[in-house]
Structure 1
Amino acid sequence: MTALLPGAAAWQDEYMQSSQASSTMIGREEELRALAESYGLAVQSKPQAVVVAGEAGLGKTRLLREFLHGTAASARVLSGQCVDLGPLAAPYAPIAAVLRALASEIGLAELLDLAGPGRDALALLLPEAGTAEPALPTANLVLEAVSTVLERAAESLPTVVVVEDLHWADESSLAVLGFILRAFDGGKFMLVMTYRSDDVHRGHPLRAFLAEVERGRYAKNIRLGRLGRDQVRQQVEAITGAPASYELVENVLSRSDGIPFFVEELVGVDGCATPTELPSSLRDLLLARYERMDEPVQYFLRVIAAGGTCVPHLLAESAFDRTLDDFEASARLAQQANLIGIDGDSYTFRHALLREAIHADLLPGERTRFHTRYAQALESGDPAHRDTAAVAYHWDAANVPDKTFKASVTAMGEAWRSFAYTTSARMGERALELWDSVDRPEQAAGMPRYRLMGRTAEAHNLAGDGERSLAVIRLAAGEPAATGHARARLLADQARYLGFNAKAGSEELLLQALELVPPDTDENLRARLLNWLAARYMLAGTLDEAIAVATEALNLAAAAGNDEERSVAANLRGVSRINAGDVAGGREDLESAEGLAEGNAQALLRFRVNYSDTLNLLGLYNESIEVAEAGIARARQLGVERTTGALLSSNAVEPLFALGDWSRAAALLERNLQLSPPSSFHAYLMRSKIWSTLWGGDIAGADTLFRRWQPLLRELARVEMQSRLHLAILSTELAWAQGELDHAWQEASFILSPAFRPLPGYDLPLLAVAARVLAALRRAGVQGPADDERRLRAVLARDSFWPTHPAWQALYDAELGGTQGTGDDPAGWNRAGLHAAALPAHLRHYIGLRTGQAQLAAGHRTEAAATLRAAVDGGNASGAHLVAELARDLAAQAGLALDGPRQRPNDDELTGRERQVLALVADGLSNREIGERLFISGKTASVHVSAIMRKLGASSRTEAASRALKRT
């Protein structure tokens, strides 16, 4: 043991033999029990997540220490600490610490084996895991690799991962933790996290993460409160080992406000008998015991405070400019005084508040000296393991602009390569702040300021901060040095960010960019700009312009031999041609786009985005899902899950709902909403969320969501015709469900306005909804303009080339059928039912509802009861509970009992011929094909099918076949 420093006071020697922390934890029995309960569930392979929140000093770390002491014999405990380096904190620090703790226990080789295919991605967090760049380094591979390692580690041995001080966590670490919360379905795993609640202000990035935790399946929140009078008494007596007087307890309580750490500090400074003996401020309280140490110990603590809350021994030793004996002796005394602790090979302050107080007490010269030494020590380390973010932090704290600037630019690039985009953006912002304070900044940065601005803007965009990305890219485009092709690229980026954030103006910016890249200058850049412009025209519904610009891009890219841009151009032209009426030509373009995209990940993703959407609109739901899901998987691999991946997910959600697979659609929807995608992609997902909430039967909930998100939806609708038509459908259906028919018609009649541009896949559903509202108005005795129906039918006729047109036509005709044009003709609804398989699942059950309504109007009560019962069953089974509720309400109004025995009358038994027809229906044959097989006319086959559906109480051919199979 190292001897005491010369001159150490005798009282100090005696004082340091005891600790001011009470041996018994006071007032946390319920919280400790809650942690133990969660651990018990984790041991049963029910993964648990617990967040412990509380003000600074309430004892979060002490609570965890007590909890972990009770699990040490049965569990593996892995800890990670978030560090307080402000906006220049390195990404993934606590996650890397957890992985290193595991590697030290099982060995690095076994840890890499646990990662499986993701082992290369771990090199982004653990340089010692390998020096080679991963073959496909992506953000999501990092998330999946960490999750896989921990999940496999927890298969045999209960594993508790502790991450403290989340209020200092970088967004990349939060992304990993969030992914773990979503990904874990089994294993003996428990994740415990703490944060300082008084530091999490409005707008703090941790708030979104905490909201995600609260929605988790196995999440638990523990909030620590302050101690009461009796608990303060118990703590004082546990520390002093003697009864506490009333005056002492009152003084300590009034000055500590019941915060355990302050109680310990107050008792530890020797004077608590009267108020005058207590320190006069929090800072004085925190520094009281520090100031009673000898000067060498104080100096050591100041050096450590400059290093952070947890400082590796070798780094601290490098920053300490006195003798090694002085260092070791001071460290020993500081530890014995309970001011610091030892965590592995690092020094940690007993409490972060103490470190903050000591650091704030540094003299300006000391601050510069100490942080300079830390920066130099970090820079002299192994380049492969160098923490450039920490280097930037220390140079910044030392107020050395040139070195801070260069380190920030380097750290920006490293954070980008590890997909820590928020950190990358912050490093870029710091470098830009210092630009004018640095000698020859362009040379130091290796790029002009506008390019640094552009990279910073892109980092903001990828991190999800759309407003900031737009603000920075506007400044970049306005830089005097940004001219010619460089400015064209910046304008194009600005146009992209506008599109991502549902803002107008993209087309004008792209036209300006094209003027800066005239023909025969840079064919590849010009082709790319033309493709972006064609995409904006396509989304705006100006299809002729989209086709023309995409054709120009296609020819230009072909001449330049650029297959990627050729694929994108063919893709855009194909979708536009299909929507304009040339379905066959458009399909040829799309096939060409897929072939040209082979081997190019980004081009293939763009193809899958547009192709999956087109397949869905064409009614090819299974194929659409297959294409979208392949794209989603690839987007995750490429680290663009929250951008392109969110768009593909939106494309998968719609056909999943259309097939009636609501649970799968809802799960995909929620996962992607949690990723906080850019505004426009978020709007697509929220639109599906509102729609499914409405048809799920929660009209009030849908209305609340719609009111909240309506500004964003309407903003997007101003720049995208498909979104405008989607919005018209959603707002019309919501108003219809609420009984606000006038408002519903106002929303639906957008399709008759001059602003409307035809997009058949969106027009046809809106036309059917408009017909529904028009019929409802007529039933209510409201007659609209005489030519409304005629004008609607004109749009319907114009879209007759669309493959699903017959089904939508049949639904439209049924809605406005009957003598009064109110949809009271059962035959019309039977005809619609024959086409129901081509429509989304909720409409198949809706057709059953309306068929029952028409049957009631015709006096066919027995048939109506069976039909409405099927609508209730089908709606509830699929998730379209709104249909079930409407069917039940209609039956109740008519006095029909739907809950009794569900047996058909004997006269509803199928004939032999009908059973033959039903077998062919089950095989998927059309009426014409059935007629050819049975040597009857198609019309006769249709009559048989209608009779079968009536007898079986089925609302569609598919449902009829399903019911028949159940009977057998």
Structure 2
Amino acid sequence: MGRDAELEWLAGLLDSVRAGTPSTAVIGGEAGIGKTRLVAEFTRALGPDVRLVRGQCVDLGDVAAPYSPIKGALRQLVAQVGAERALDAVGPGRAALMALLPELAAVDGGPAGEVVITPGGAGSGQLHEAVAVLLETLSRDEPIVLVIEDLHWVDAATLALLRFLLRSLGSSRLLVVLTYRTDDVTRGHPLRSFLSEAERDRWVERRELGRLDEAEVRALVGTLVVDDALSDQALETVFRRSDGVPFFVEELVGIDGCRDEGFVPDTLRDLLLARYERLSDEAQELLRLLSTGGVRVPHALLSEVYRGTEPQLESAARESVLYGVLVIDGDDYAFRHALVREAILEDLLPGERARYHARYAEAYEAQAAAGGRRLAAEISYHWMGARDPIRAFPATIHAMREARAAVAYATSARLGERALELWDTVPDAAHIAGMGKLELMGRTASQLRHAGEGERSLALVKAALAECPRDDPQYPRLLRDKAQYLANVGRDGSIPLLEESLAAIPDDGSDASEELRATVLTALAGRFMIEGRTAEAVETADAAYELARSIDFPRYASVAMNISAVSRAARGEVDRALVDMDRAHALAEGDGAALLRYWVNASDLRYLVGDHHEAVRLAEEGLARARAQGVERSSGVILASNAVDPLFALGEWERADALIERALALDPPGPFRIYLQRAKLWALVWRGDAEHAAELLRQYRAAMAPVMQVEMQTRLAVGRVEVEIGLATGDLPQAWRDGRGVLDEPVLPLAGYAEPLLWAVSRVIAAVRADPARVGEAEASEILAAEPRLREMLGRLSFWPTHGLWAALVEAELAPTAAAWQAAVDEASRESAPQFLRPYALLRLGEAQLDAGDRAGARDALQGAFDAAVVGGVTAVQTRAARVAMQAGLSLDGASRRDGLQGVAGVAGADDAGDAVAELTARERQVLDLIAEGLSNRQIGERLYITGKTASVHVSAILRKLGASSRTEAVYLARATR
């Protein structure tokens, strides 16, 4: 009733799915508003061409069973298509699917419950990928509607999987329908962030159901009371007391037809319990027992926990169904509404509640002993409800292991935290758990880290270290873990912790000690490499390699050799580095984690030395292996993102853009996200949308800062983009602040990343020398005085294979003669140079020739810049070349006045700068006049009695509207129209 628009909306989404566009409908609303009824009406009308599967989130307190609604839906899907078809459809992910549904192992020829995720796989990413592939493959046969209800009770593992599915199933015919109760999603609920993220996805639509108006309530009552119409007074009473909530309307009408207001309960609780309280004592006891088990309970389970005879159970159940408290759904008994169940549950006496929970716990233990399903989470929950920590503890430990086996890291971590809370209440807890408390703390911290809970993992490992004696075998492991967790959250301090861990490892020659030593040495070498301490990185990595080889530990031998190669390259031993990287590849053969690290670092190294085609080939080779391992949309996407920079260098902008957007949509880990964001910003600058890049940079800065602090590579790469954004938007003071740090690096910076940044900084120096008024007097003096330091730093990096290119560009920027820019053009024309640099160098050559009075030469150079920029997609250079030619009165083939004024005012059909000037506000015209006087943003602010930040906003708007790349150009374009 009153949901025609919503039904039409869902039907429209299904039509889109049939046509090949996946969709997700998120339906929210308060309790009783009709979410389940709406979904039921929609699914009832599905045609035979659609496959329907459902999942139900379960209320198991703070720690629900991992993947419970997903497993329920997938079991339905397997039952519909057959286990053989499902395993064939999932392809390389069959092991991961069997880890989720262990009963499939019997079909595959293995023992049920013994399947584990393949070594070197990507954990939860591999499982997520398996589910995605299964749904996508089967949806090609028939569209699939996947319904997950009561998302407010969702477990963390399911939420992570749903987040992945919504972003990755772009080529499927899948309609996901999610429902949740809005009044249960309070501040801090994990569903809040999920809903916020989902709304930004173009395939997700969210609606909240509203209450019925008076006319709709009257119509609803008319469908419920068919034998005798209610009086207007009774109808008004129903509307007023129900407040337009459909479930309450039904309950009110269900009380003797609600013909007398004296029958209307005073409170919501009384209303919810009205039907229940009219039942016999036997039926009420059954409902109290049933409410302890959940919203729905299978008949077989209810028979196990019920203490009466089977006829008594059937009689009480039949009575409850007749009175409209229960409904029968297949083999399950379910409450007609969760609100009724919650009201009955709250009515239980404490002792009664504990007894019922104990019965369920014992019944689940019996089922688990019989085999077939993982039920430890349910057992733990019910023993906790029974207030029996001694029996809850082993179940919790078992549930933690089950969740870990299913790579449900967040659930495993929460169960670990529950076990730690119970530890001191359980006699001989270490014996029961099979591990000491410190080991349990360490494992729980590890699960928190895998679940993305970096700060909580760090806090727990700190607590473990505080309790751990220094001579305990766990001490060096905990130190190593703390170092890793610090790095994960972007904090420094990892190196001293790893060194302390190394010193604490017993020198007893045992396999365990030597393996731990190899892992710590490798981790330490990696941190040295990331922080740019290349000499120490090489020495430590070589030691780690020798140790790993001596104890036959090929994974760490490969990783150590990989780190050594990258570090040797950073100090100029490029030829040996390339050879050693090949050795790392051979050592990694068959090990997914080591291979992934090889492809990432090998492709990056090839890019930095100018071998862009090989860099792309290596990244694609890694992606092919990821596809074979069933992790194409998780680890594979992250690996593919490493091809972005070489693709940019080759001028394949669209292909690189697609990789960036695809990878960002899948929510990669923090550092990878920053690498992708940095690439996105850089592309926006060179494709002519610097203002958008500046806006995004303001959003990204806070997240980038901690990673930049501990990773030199990120610090240099992001620094370059920040400087180029400042240059493109005319904010030279900010560009200088963002770039000057490279001149003060405590160790020699990584040449492959440092030289492009030094070039960007040289452009700032050149711009300030050309127009010192664009910055303050003191800052201009500081910037111009930095040139000798920049030249000295560049000279120290002369060992790098691409040094000639960057040195020529820097020299031309700082001494901009036609000869210097011709030399830069020659270097930028080499195959190893990024393609976008040649049109830029030609542009600058044309400008230098104009300054020298060589108009013919300038025209040829600008024409070359324009043509190369058009072919290479370098929009920023194309626009600037056309504008420079227009201002000089030179005509370029293929260029129009519109090219020279691209982006002006953002108005379709703008043909000249005069239109753009007309778009300026009165305040912007005032600011433009002060720009013409050479005032800085701060000085403009003082003159107009506004803040310097506000002045900067006005300047940015002026540059955008005029299509100018600098303040000077803005003044020129404005004057040209007067």
Normalised by the shorter chain, which TM-score bucket?
A: 0.7 to 0.9
Query: Cα deviation per residue 1:487-544 (whole Å; 9 max; x = unaligned)?
Result: 1011101101111111111011111111212555433322321221111111111112
1:268 counterpart (236, 254, 262): 254
- Per-residue CA distance 1:248-305 (angstroms, 9 max, x = gap): 3443333323221122122222475676643222222211111112221111111111
Q: CA offsets per residue over residues 209-257 of structure 1, 9 Å max, x none? A: 3344334343322321122222222222322235555543443333323
What SS does the aligned partner of 2:446 have? Answer: helix
Matching residue of 2:956:
none
8 A contact 1:484–1:517 mirrored in 2: no
Please give the TM-score of this superposition, normalised by the length of structure 1: 0.84
CA distance in 2, matches of 1:456, 1:633: 34
C-alpha separation between the residues in 2 aligned to 1:887 and 1:348?
72
Which structure 2 residues correspond to residues 739-750 of structure 1 after superposition, within 5 A? 739-750=730-741
Shift of 1:841: 4.1
SS for the counterpart of 2:456 is helix
Q: Distance in 1 between matches of 2:867 and 2:272?
A: 67
Q: Which residue of 2 aligns with 1:83?
A: 58
CA gap of 1:636–1:235, structure 2 versus 1, over 3 A, is: same
Do the aligned residues in 1 keep the contact of 2:29 with 2:181 (CA within 8 Å)? yes
| Offset at residue 453 of structure 1 (A) | 0.7
In the alignment, is the contact (CA less than 8 A) between 1:290 and 1:298 conserved in 2? yes
**C-alpha distance in structure 2 between counterparts of 1:122 and 1:808, whole Å:** 51
* In structure 2, distance between residues paired with 1:669 and 1:202: 32
- Matched to 2:762, the amino acid is A
Per mean C-alpha deviation after superposition, the further-off stretch among 295-304 and 189-198 is: 189-198
Going from structure 1 to structure 2, the CA distance change for 1:497 and 1:676 (only over 3 Å counts) comes to farther
Q: Which residue of 2 aligns with 1:916?
A: none
- Cα 1:862/1:733, change in 2 over 3 Å: same
Superposed CA offset, 1:814-864 (max 9, x none) = 323435xxx8965345334423x4333443443344344445445566776
Q: Is the 2:490–2:707 contact (alpha carbons within 8 Å) kept by the matching residues of 1? A: yes
Q: Which residue is equivalent to 1:68? A: 43
Equivalent residue number for residue 831 of structure 1: 826
- Secondary structure of 1:413's counterpart equals helix
Structure 1 CA distance for aligned equivalents of residues 231 and 857 of structure 2 = 85
User: SS of the counterpart of 1:718?
Assistant: helix
Q: Structure 1 367/120 Cα, relative in aligned 2: closer, same or farther at 3 Å?
A: same
1:448-463 aligned at under 5 Å gives the runs 448-463=436-451
1:88 aligns to what SS in structure 2?
A: coil
Q: Which residue is 1:163 aligned to? A: 148
Moved more, 208-217 or 449-458: 208-217
Q: Conserved in 2, the CA contact under 8 Å of 1:52 and 1:223?
A: yes
RMSD: 3.0
Q: 2:520 matched to which residue of 1?
A: 529
Q: Indicate how the Cα distance of structure 1 residues 796 and 83 shifts in structure 2: closer, same or farther if over 3 A, else same.
A: same
The aligned counterpart of 2:483 is 495
Q: What is the alpha-carbon distance in structure 2 between the residues aligned to residue 884 and residue 691 of structure 1?
A: 16
1:647 is displaced (CA, Å) by 6.1
Matched, 1:692 2:687: no
What is the match of residue 780 of structure 1? 771
Report what 1:942 is aligned to. none
What is the 5 A alignment of 1:873-888? 880-887=874-881
Question: Within 2, Cα distance between the matches of 1:685 and 1:44?
Answer: 32
Question: Contact (CA 8 Å) 1:271, 1:278: kept in 2 or not?
Answer: no
Q: Percent of pairs identical after alignment?
A: 45
Looking at structure 2, the residues matched to 534 and 422 of structure 1 have their Cα atoms a distance apart, in angstroms, of 30
CA displacement, residues 926-958 of structure 1 (integer Å, 9 cap, x when unaligned): xxxxxxxxxxxxxxxxxxxxxxxxxxxxxxxxx
Aligned mate of 2:802, from 788, 801, 804? 804
Give 2:240's match in structure 1, choosing from 254, 263, 266.
254
Residue 90 of structure 1: how far off its partner (Å):
1.1
SS in 2 for 1:122: helix
**Aligned match for 2:115, one of 121, 133, 137:** 133
Query: Larger deviation: 323-332 or 140-149?
Result: 140-149
Judge conservation of contact 2:828–2:835 (CA < 8 Å) in 1: no
Aligned to 1:927: none
Q: Residues of 2 paired with 1:112 and 1:647: CA distance?
A: 26
Q: Mind listing any 5+ residue stretches in structure 1 that lack a counterpart?
A: 1-25, 903-968
Could you say if the C-alpha distance between residues 869 and 391 of structure 1 is closer, same or farther in structure 2, counting changes exceeding 3 Å? farther
- Listed one character per residue, the Cα deviations across residues 345-397 of structure 1 (whole Å, up to 9, x for unaligned) are 21221112222221121111221111111111111112331311111111111
Distance 2:371 2:470 in 1: 34
Deviation, structure 1 residue 651 = 2.8
- Residues 436 and 893 of structure 1: is their aligned pair in 2 closer, same or farther, counting only changes over 3 Å? farther
Distance 1:363 1:556 in 2: 63
Q: Secondary structure of the equivalent of 1:191?
A: strand
Instruction: Summarize the Cα distance change of 1:815–1:88 in structure 2 as closer, same or farther, 3 Å threshold.
Output: same
- TM-superposed CA distance for 1:638, in Å, is 7.5
- Which segment drifts farther, 285-294 or 869-878? 869-878
Quick check: 1:206 aligned with 2:181? no
8 Å Cα contact 1:617-1:761 kept in structure 2: yes
Who is 1:9 aligned against?
A: none
Residue 579 of structure 2 aligns with an amino acid whose one-letter code is E
Letter in 1 for 2:80: E
Give yes or no for contact 2:125–2:635 (8 Å, CA) kept in 1: no
Contact 1:139 1:638 in 2 (8 A): no
**Structure 2 unaligned blocks of 5 or more:** 106-111, 774-779, 897-978
- Cα distance in 2 for partners of 1:195, 1:864 equals 66
Deviation by residue 1:850-898 (Cα, 9 ceiling, x = unmatched):
3444454455667766765775676577665444444455455446666
TM-score, scaled relative to structure 2: 0.83
Question: 1:621/1:851 Cα in 2 relative to 1: closer, same or farther (>3 Å)?
Answer: same
Distance 1:561-1:826 versus aligned 2 partners, 3 A rule: closer
| Kept after mapping to 1: 8 A contact 2:684/2:692 | yes
SS in 2 for 1:624: helix
| Counterpart for residue 404 of structure 1 | 392
Q: Secondary structure at the match of 1:163?
A: strand
Quote the residue 1:93 is aligned against.
68
Compared CA separation, residues 755 and 272, structure 1 to 2 (3 A):
farther
Paired residue for 2:91? Answer: 116
Which amino acid letter does the alignment assign opposite residue 535 of structure 1? Answer: G
Displacement after TM superposition at 1:340 (Å) = 2.0
* Per-residue CA distance 1:697-729 (angstroms, 9 max, x = gap): 443433333223323322222222222222321
Is the aligned partner of 1:792 residue 2:790? yes
2:923 is matched with: none
Q: What letter corresponds to residue 499 of structure 1 in structure 2? A: A
Name the CA shift for 1:647/1:32 in 2 (closer, same or farther; >3 Å). closer
Aligned pairs for 1:761-910 (under 5 A) are 761-781=752-772, 784=781, 788-819=786-817, 827-828=822-823, 830-835=825-830, 837-858=831-852, 880-887=874-881, 889-891=883-885, 893-894=887-888
CA shift for structure 1 position 146 = 2.5
For the residue of structure 1 that corresponds to 2:710, the secondary structure is coil
